[in-house]
Structure 1
Amino acid sequence: MVDYEVTVYTGDRVNATTLNSVNIKLVGTDGESDRTWLRSLVIFRGSVSTYTVSCPNSLGRLLLIELDKRQFILLPNDAWFPDKVQVKSPEDDIYTFPVHCWISDRETHRYREGKALRIFDESHPLGQYARQQELSQRSVDYDWELYAPGVPYTIKTDDPMTLPDEVQFSFTKSTEFAFTAATGLAELQLKGLVDNQENWKNLDDINDVFRNKDTPLSDYVQEHWKEDWLFAYQFLNGVNPTLIQRCKTLPENFPVTDDMVSIPDGSNLSNEMKQGNIYLCDYKNLDGMPANTIQGIQQYLTAPLVLLHKRPDDKLMPIAIQLKQTPADDNPIFLPTDSTYDWLTAKIFVRSADFSEHQINAHLLRTHLMAEVFAVSLLRNLPMVHPLYKLLIPHTRYTLQINELARDRLIGPTGVFTNFTASGGEAVPRILTRSLSSITYRSLCIPDDIADRDMQDVPNFYYRDDALQLWSVMFKFVQGVIQYYYKSDDDVLRDSELQTWIGDIFEHGFLSQPQTGIPQSFTTVPELTKFATMVMFTSSCQHAAVNSGQYDYGGWMPNTPATLRRPPPTEKGTTSEATMLETLPPINVTVQGMATVWLLSRQSSDFVSLGHYPEAHYSEGTPRQLQMDFKAELDMLSTAINNRNKSLEIPYTYLDPKKVENSVAI
């Protein structure tokens, strides 16, 4: 007889303990062990327990283990979360089998030894069989569903709680986070206002509600929201820094002339455009979209164009706003020289349009739905033993459940977004369809996106500065891992699972539209490296950039109204404080919006920051060292960002690596 020393590591998370009988089987190149009961009445959360599995002869090189769990009579069936199983063979070889998932049923679950293997590395029939069986089951567990025509496919599930256990929230996350505005209303002590449909009488009344529910930045925004410089600053470093672009030629539908705008130091619009000092924000995605009806009242959604000028002091300032796409006598171009309320009202319509463009395109589509496509295709097409699975799986944590909750409780028929925003309801799928048709691969890769928008040298663009540095550090890490496993382009071409993975993304994420530039296959190591970096960046950094500041900039409602109740002015000189207050959303809509953006900006206690890998999927030394190097470089970048922020009036913190979550988890 020979003995194998089996050490079981149970996850240190709530409810990971099991009272059920756990059994193991070892499978090697030369045979398999009997199914062996791990003799313990209770396997505790966070425990490390060692057992002996005896066999008549050596099993050769271990390929996999099988785990199953059975309920004792009179005891409840419960879930168990093993982190990993380590086996010491009679030959003193150590094998590590990563698990990192819940086992809640009576089925037999197979887990491979931790060394990453590409499909053409599988030389043993048992390994090939296990790989095929895993992907066969995953294709059932993670199926696609059409959400709406022209929109990326989503995970097929009846509701968030029927998702596979391994992708659901932890107990901590679930109990901490109920995805309803009621949670925010209660914690912000606003529940007494949810039935008040009256208009605001003055801004001081809004301030009374907002007081003591602010963050340092939201308080600052409340104080300065009317000022032109803060209006312009938000295009660079607010929650939607992806729209602004340099303007060398005015769009034909935005007929701003030299004599309309005032340029300091005797210059004019034409000269400033030639010198690269003019910038444009165009909300054409919203043109013609049907505005919602809220509480029986028609709402209004515009598609503005905004022109901005970089002054000699490097400050960006708005110089012209047109609230609708088609020039006309009843669509005036508003200017800073207009009356106070004409100009302020025009800016309010822009900020409201920015809310919709940000939430539906920059946030929902380009991070949440893209991350879901990447997650589902990864789980369907790459087995746990695949090197790219090990690289990318940490960046899928909680994404499928958070998206299901969003579809149900934010943009579903009874959702907060549907009931309380101008672009809720009918407009959402239409805006998503239009936005997806304009997505390009380059726009998802931050170095290309910055270049295409010609934003390389605009000053005080901290989103760009931090994002480019994060991309560089991440690319270096991804390149190291991929080059370790793929020594040549031929290795990439031979990996049929990789090719199926990218094909699935192209088909279900980008609806087989070649104009997007999304690869349909991989032919080189650099192609694979760039795409994997984009997946990681989108699912972590880009989401942090467009999510984390929602309450900072949207908590003070007049700065980012989710809806507007009066149409845009059709001529100048018709606005006043009274018309502005009538235009802003009423009290109950305001507090629903405050509660929602507060909830979406919260960080949970089981937050995992970028570069942290509490679940060890790699067992080889080189990728593990690369992970440590990655974290070390992120720590250095975090220090540099914090040092820079000390000198800024508005610190830009959203891309501090220590505040970037590893995945789309909120």
Structure 2
Amino acid sequence: MGNILTKVMKALKKGKKSRGTENGAGMKNNTTVTKVIKGTVILMKKNVLDLNDFTAAVADGIDELLGKKVSIQLVSSSVNGGAGDQLPPPPPSSGNVLKGKIGSPAFLENWTTKTTTLTTGESAFDVTFDWDEDIGIPGAFIIRNLHHNEFYLKTLTLEHVPGHNRIHFTCNSWVYPAEKYQTDRIFFSNQAYLPKDTPAALQWYREQELVTLRGDGSGERKEWDRVYDYDYYNDLGDPEKGSDYARPVLGGSVEYPYPRRGRTGRPTSKDSKSESRLPLLLSLNIYVPRDERFGHLKMSDFLGYGLKSVSQLIVPEIQGQLDSTPSEFDSFEDILKIYEGGIKIPQQITKNISAEFIKALLPMDGEGLLKYPMPVVIKEDKTAWRTDEEFAREMLAGANPVIISGLQEFPPRSKLNPEIYGKQDSTITREQVENMLDGLTVDKAMETNRLFILDHHDSLMPYVRRINATSTKIYATRTLLFLQEDGTLKPLAIELSLPNPNGDEFGAVSKVYTPGGNGVEGSLWQLAKTYVAVNDSGVHQLISHWLHTHAVIEPIVIATNRQLSVVHPIHKLLHPHFRDTMTINALARQTLTNAGGFIESTVFPGKYAMEMSAVLYKDWVFPEHALPADLIKRGMAVEDPNARHGLRLLIQDYPFAVDGLEIWSAIKTWVEDYCKYYYRSDEMIQEDEELQSWWKEVREEGHGDKKDEPWWPKMQSRQELIDSCTIIIWLSSALHAAVNFGQYPYAGFLPNRPTLSRRLIPEPGTPEYDELKTDPDKVLLKTVPPQLQMLLGISLIEILSRHASDEVYLGQRDHEWTNDVNALEAFERFGKKLAEIEGKIVELNNNPGLKNRSGSVKVPYTLLFPTGEVGLSGKGIPNSISI
């Protein structure tokens, strides 16, 4: 059909006279010499990206027959072209605005006959411009798409431009039919400009483009819109389905402060507070600005692993199964079968669940067997995960290595309000732990920085009573650890605490467990470690991962696009670190963190999950998320001018911190070199209107519930800019990599990091206690998630732990991004430094004296290895939060 269309069009075009000058191209007067500038456009047609969209190809062909084309007009960066009529006129108060002269339209050539000649559906088109020599150098171009369908514009390159030779425009943007836009689409060359240095002829275009991106704050956003705006998290609940699906609005209140998310403008539900939700079949079409959406390769990967099905399908089809008597794994050997040979899902689990869901979400083979990739935590040794050594090691090198802290006082004290929660201080005594301190007293061990704590008490205790009123049963926990001479940690005691049954104000009811040998004491200790792992898994997913990377970065993405022009140096610095973040967050709110969604169904806080993250956001302090500041705050390092990076780690073999400080330092050096090239003084920072507007909006809009906090950098100096950009890049790249891509390696075998517990620890005299004596593994398996929930949880983290096929890693760019040689040289140094760090990480992992690098499970720490591999590689730092 495509060949027939091409032949028809060629026939219809025969005999037509040349259109070389019918639109004014090539015209000249007595004093102006017109030059021909050759250009090349790289784009991807919609019908190439969507092979099923034959309609798009036909429509485009008809458009060409009717004379509707893709036109491009160059905009001068050096000559005032008058008021012009190509963009909306300036506001009346603006006076006589300088605007670069706009050249005659030129059209892409051979649209319908051009075959795909480049990779991944890209096509190259020639375009010829007639350009008056006396109007200077092109600095931007306007493009109009008069087809019926959008296309993805990658680049325009001009060759042999008089007085300048080559000019490159990196676009990477969807261009919809012109009728969809209120203003023309304009793209600027790769040259970076501070606002004050912008050529006068381009200044108006620069400002108007930002006005377009901000929008007017009204209306429901459409697919083709490019508007970045803020909203509260009022899109989690679904009150239309009943009160069980109502959730509080997060953001805009003292009770539930929260970072802002991207506004969609969808109408509200019947409660007038919650935004209406998209139907299931449209869940992937939730609005984000079009250029923020996944590229076609990423979307293909994403759908290929089934997240399309992780949605309201969980409710009610699955929820009924989770609430009934669940099917259990009878032994750890049964769990291992899902990796080694596959298992059939019992019929009583699947009978009420659609076959489409099972097929899409769960990895079934041709014989109906369920099989998952082998998690590396059990690849070399099937039992080492149960050891005390591995339990403690994962606090330093596992999926959540950002919570452990140095013990500052004994017994640990609570910061919860005693008027509300009564006495919450720890009940761990010296007598319970001093026999395990290698002859030291508690005070001496603290003085020599050898006592540490994994504290999940204060963050969870306010929710324990409510959570335990559901089918989930948890404790607030404290875990004490001792640093041994060989650099490893030894667990000393675990405290399990419940609210007093007589009321919160009466304080906690706590019990302390210490390492036991064989028999019931050893089994109780294993169960106590399981409750700690449950807490750490939930806090990891909701706080370390979601809140501290995904949620806090999204409003910075929005502010950057609203206030910093694409030609601003800081926009060019930060933009790669925002790729896909708004999309993955929007999809998470639609399918994972929503009422009844995947997180609520598989992670212990249940319906209180996002509410709890809002309460803990109260403690978020932007400057404290610089890695050195974080390590110092947690008592894991002290300042030392003689130590590497100015910090002395109190646990020398702390893989996350050791590798993290190398990456942090490399990022900071790169940011410092880059920022100091563009800003030669603090005064230049203060005088940059776009930069000041950006930082003001980050504070007062994006993180508006914290706008009055005194800790915000004032953005009055180069150092404040360097520090702030370094933190943003660290959170978006390395920190997210450290807390995301270790999920399947460690929690793919869910007993190692269970996400919820279903019953409390057995008490003497009960049947459960007697069972603990005879079959402790069965008791543990009845405590952690049942079969279906475990399988769903594993499926989710397999999706979230994969590197996409189009991943761009730290120190890399996938396109030309600037003309500034100094910036390019600094970026090249950054890449070389990261390569050096890779080599160091390999050396450290091969050092047998560093026992925390691999542990008894023999899993080398590679989560902060800069470059990665597609799939479940467990290594690589993507530029951005893209999954």
For residues 86 and 135 of structure 1, do their structure 2 counterparts lie closer, same or farther at Cα, with a shift above 3 Å needed?
same
110-119 vs 318-327, greater mean Cα deviation: 318-327
**Residues 323 and 354 from structure 1, CA distance in 2 versus in 1: closer, same or farther, beyond 3 angstroms?**
same
**DSSP-derived class of the 1:657 partner:** coil
Matched residue, 2:393:
233
- One-letter code aligned to 2:203: Q
2:132 and 2:685 mapped to 1: Cα distance?
A: 41
Following superposition, the deviation at residue 495 of structure 1 comes to: 0.8
2:258 is the alignment partner of 1:151: yes
The residue aligned with 1:450 is 631
The reply to whether residue 631 of structure 1 matches residue 831 of structure 2 is yes
Other structure's SS at 1:331 match? strand
2:376 alignment partner AA: P
Which of residues 340, 362, 367 is equivalent to 2:522? 340
1:118 pairs with one of 194, 217, 222: 194
Q: Secondary structure at the match of 2:459?
A: helix
Distance 2:45 2:809 in 1: 17
**What per-residue deviation string (whole Å, max 9, x for no partner) do you get for residues 330-359 of structure 1?**
421111137011111110000000011101
Secondary structure, counterpart of 2:609 in structure 1: helix
Q: What secondary structure, in the 3-state scheme, does the structure 1 residue paired with 2:586 have?
A: helix
Where do 1:5-84 residues align within 5 Å?
5-10=37-42, 15=48, 21-28=69-76, 29-30=78-79, 31-42=101-112, 44=116, 45-71=121-147, 77-84=149-156
Length-normalised TM-score, structure 2: 0.70
437-446 or 220-229, larger mean C-alpha shift: 220-229
Deviation at 1:608, TM superposition (A): 0.9
State the match for 1:163 in structure 2: 288
In the other structure, the counterpart of 1:642 is: 842
Are the structure 2 counterparts of residues 281 and 572 from structure 1 closer, same or farther at C-alpha, using a change threshold of 3 Å? Answer: farther
Q: Does 1:257 align with 2:429?
A: yes
Q: Deviations over 1:139-183 (max 9, x none)?
A: 120110101131111011256533222111111111221375577
Conserved 8 A contact 2:110-2:125? no
For residue 81 of structure 1, give the secondary structure of its aligned residue in structure 2.
strand
Does the aligned pair in 2 maintain the 1:356–1:423 contact within 8 Å? yes
In the TM superposition, 1:57-206 aligns within 5 A as: 57-71=133-147, 77-86=149-158, 88-106=160-178, 107=181, 108-124=184-200, 126-140=201-215, 141-147=227-233, 148-149=250-251, 150-157=257-264, 161=285, 162-178=287-303, 180=306, 197-206=326-335
Note the 1:471-490 alignment, pairs <5 A.
Answer: 471-490=664-683
Cα gap change, 1:164/1:56 in structure 2, threshold over 3 Å: closer, same or farther? same
1:209-257 deviation digits (Å, cap 9, x = unpaired)? 2436313334357522221011101111111111111113122311322
| In 1, Cα distance between equivalents of 2:700 and 2:562 | 14
Shift of 1:486: 0.4
Residue 289 (structure 1) aligned to one of 463, 476, 489: 463
Instruction: Kindly indicate whether structure 1 or structure 2 has the higher relative contact order, using CA contacts under 8 Å at least 6 residues apart.
Output: 1
Q: Which residue of 1 aligns with 2:449?
A: 276
Q: Who is 1:555 aligned against?
A: 748
Structure 1: 5+ residue stretches without partners: 186-190
Query: Would the aligned equivalents of 2:668 and 2:723 in 1 still touch at CA under 8 Å?
Result: yes
Residue 655 of structure 1 pairs with residue 655 of structure 2 = no
What amino acid is the match of 1:369?
Answer: A
Q: Equivalents in 2 of 1:476, 1:572: separation in Å? A: 62
Q: How far off its partner does 1:62 sit?
A: 2.4
Between 429-438 and 229-238, report the one with greater CA deviation: 429-438
Report if the CA contact (8 A) 2:560-2:571 is conserved: yes
Contact between 1:194 and 1:592, CA under 8 Å: does it hold in 2?
no
| Residue identity in the other structure for 1:656 | F
91 and 104 in structure 1: CA distance in 2 versus 1, 3 angstrom threshold: same
Letter in 1 for 2:578: T
Partner of residue 643, structure 2: none
In the alignment, which residue of structure 1 is the partner of 2:54? none
* Greater C-alpha Rg: 2
CA distance in 1, matches of 2:492, 2:130: 79
TM-superposition CA deviations, 1:230-287 (whole Å, max 9, x none) = 1101111111111111113122311322211132532232221121100011112122
After superposition, the Cα gap between the structure-2 partners of 1:214 and 1:193, relative to the gap in structure 1 and judged at 3 Å, is farther
Indicate conservation of the 8 Å contact 2:378/2:385, yes or no.
Answer: no
| 1:332–1:572 Cα contact (<8 Å) kept | no
CA distance in 2, matches of 1:153, 1:132: 24
How many Å separate the matches in 1 of 2:393 and 2:595? 35
**Pairwise CA distance, 1:87:** 5.1
- Measured after TM superposition, the shift of residue 512 of structure 1 is 4.5
**Does structure 1 retain, via aligned residues, the 8 Å contact 2:155–2:172?**
yes
CA distance in 2, matches of 1:651, 1:228: 18
Whether the 8 Å CA contact 1:66–1:110 is kept in 2: the answer is yes
Quote the offset at 1:81 in angstroms. 2.3
User: Of 610, 619, 624, which aligns to 1:429?
Assistant: 610
Q: Which letter maps to 2:214? A: S
Secondary structure in structure 2 of the residue aligned to 1:63: strand
Equivalent position of 2:269 in the other structure: none
Q: 1:104 to 1:85 in 2, by over 3 A?
A: farther
- Bigger mean CA offset, 429-438 vs 552-561: 429-438
- Gap change, CA 1:135 and 1:520, over 3 Å in 2: farther
Q: Distance in 2 between matches of 1:478 and 1:172?
A: 30
Query: How many percent of aligned residue pairs carry the same amino acid?
Result: 24
**Residue in 1 aligned with 2:439?**
266
Return the offset for 1:483: 0.6
C-alpha separation between the residues in 1 aligned to 2:526 and 2:489? 17
Of the structure 1 ranges 543-552 and 88-97, higher mean CA displacement relative to structure 2 is found in: 88-97
C-alpha distance in 2 between matches for 1:477 and 1:38 = 39
Amino acid at match of 2:431: D
Q: CA deviation at 1:46?
A: 3.6
| Distance 1:316-1:132 versus aligned 2 partners, 3 A rule | same
Q: Report the aligned-residue RMSD.
A: 2.9
TM-superposed CA distance for 1:531, in Å, is 0.5
Contact in 1 for aligned 2:43/2:124 (Cα 8 Å):
no
**Residues 419 and 184 of structure 1, relative CA distance in 2, 3 Å threshold:** closer
TM-fit CA distance, 1:52: 2.2
The verdict on how the C-alpha distance between 1:206 and 1:444 changes in structure 2, with shifts beyond 3 A counting, is: same
The one-letter amino acid of 2:174's match is W
How far did residue 661 of structure 1 move?
0.6
The structural deviation recorded for 1:434 is: 2.0
CA distance in 1, matches of 2:467, 2:509: 23
1:188 aligned partner: none
**Equivalent residue number for residue 585 of structure 1:** 785
Judge conservation of contact 1:81–1:102 (CA < 8 Å) in 2: yes
8 Å CA contact 2:604, 2:757 repeated in 1: yes
Residue 184 of structure 1 deviates from its aligned partner by 9.3
Q: Distance in 1 between matches of 2:817 and 2:795?
A: 38
- Of 14-23 and 639-648, deviating more is 14-23
* Unpaired segments ≥5 residues, structure 2: 1-32, 51-56, 80-100, 216-226, 234-249, 252-256, 267-282, 312-316, 342-372, 414-424, 501-506, 637-648, 848-853, 868-875
Contact 2:569 2:678 in 1 (8 A): yes
How many residue pairs get aligned? The number is: 654
Q: Is the 8 A contact 1:322 1:333 kept in 2?
A: yes
Query: Could you tell me how far apart the structure 2 residues matched to 1:629 and 1:13 are?
Result: 36
Distance in structure 1 (CA, Å) of the matches to 2:812 and 2:877? 11
* Equivalent of 2:384 in 210, 224, 245: 224
Comparing 139-148 with 149-158, greater Cα deviation is found at 149-158
**C-alpha deviation, 1:78, in angstroms:** 3.5
Is the contact between residue 534 and residue 754 of structure 2 (CA under 8 Å) also seen in structure 1?
yes
Q: Secondary structure at the match of 1:407?
A: helix
Give 1:6 deviation, angstroms: 3.6
Distance 2:615 2:306 in 1: 28
Q: Distance in 2 between matches of 1:312 and 1:508?
A: 49
For residues 581 and 399 of structure 1, the distance between their equivalents in structure 2, rounded to whole angstroms, comes to 36
Distance 1:357 1:518 in 2: 25
